[in-house]
Amino acid sequence: MKRKSYPQSASTATRPHRILWRTDNRAQYIVFPVDMCIISVYNISAKVDNPVNITIVSVGKLKEKYLKMGIDEYAKRLGAYAKIDLVEVPDEKAPESLSEADMEIVKKKEGERILAKIGPDAYVIALAIEGKMKTSEELAAGMESLMTYGRSKVVFVIGGSLGLHNDVLKRADELLSFSKMTFPHQLMKLVLLEQVYRGFRIIKGEPYHK
């Protein structure tokens, strides 16, 4: 939000002032007597240009070259709209066959690594199958709302192959699901980046293929 201050001239100290107030390309005028030394005008345009920091925290190191290429491409595109930080935390090594107790231990250790990468002032969106499914337009509207209200640090979290520990889910401000189906968690990083990029294009009113 930009603030501009204009000093009051002596000749207008007692004369009503007409202030131009512009929102969504429509001009409105507010008339009131000026009895202060400073007139403050706030820009409350719906098109938010405040810088936003998008962090994606994921479990495991990405190895597939074709996924790396796609992720690098969308991260580059997103650089025009936001600061992008891709954080990978190590996955917990475990055998293929695990008991429920063992799976809980693995998720807890991975969860601790995830939480260590999340700041206290971050708005956290965790990808979880039990989360809410949204359209691209709804995701864009949610991102725009966060920026409008000054939530400039947004962290998306992608768990490992066993999912996210309850401690991470509790820290999340929002749970997001892309489908009821199961996808490789590394593939979801690419899908998420594409949708975030699409969201910014929608926010800016820029064309993007359907």
Average per-residue pLDDT for the chain: 81
φ/ψ of 22, rounded to 5, equals: -120, 120
pTM, rounded to two decimals: 0.75
DSSP state, residue 160: B
- Cα dist from 184 to 12, 40, 180, whole Å: 67, 52, 13
Q: How many CB atoms lie within 10 A of CB 188?
A: 18
Where exactly are the structural domains of the chain? 3-42, 53-203
Which pLDDT score, from 0 to 100, does residue 209 have? 66
pLDDT: is 25 or 172 the higher one? 172
Please compute the mean of the pLDDT values over residues 173-182 and round it to a whole number: 93
What is the assigned CATH class of domain 53-203? alpha beta
The answer, yes or no, to whether residue 76 has pLDDT greater than 90, is yes
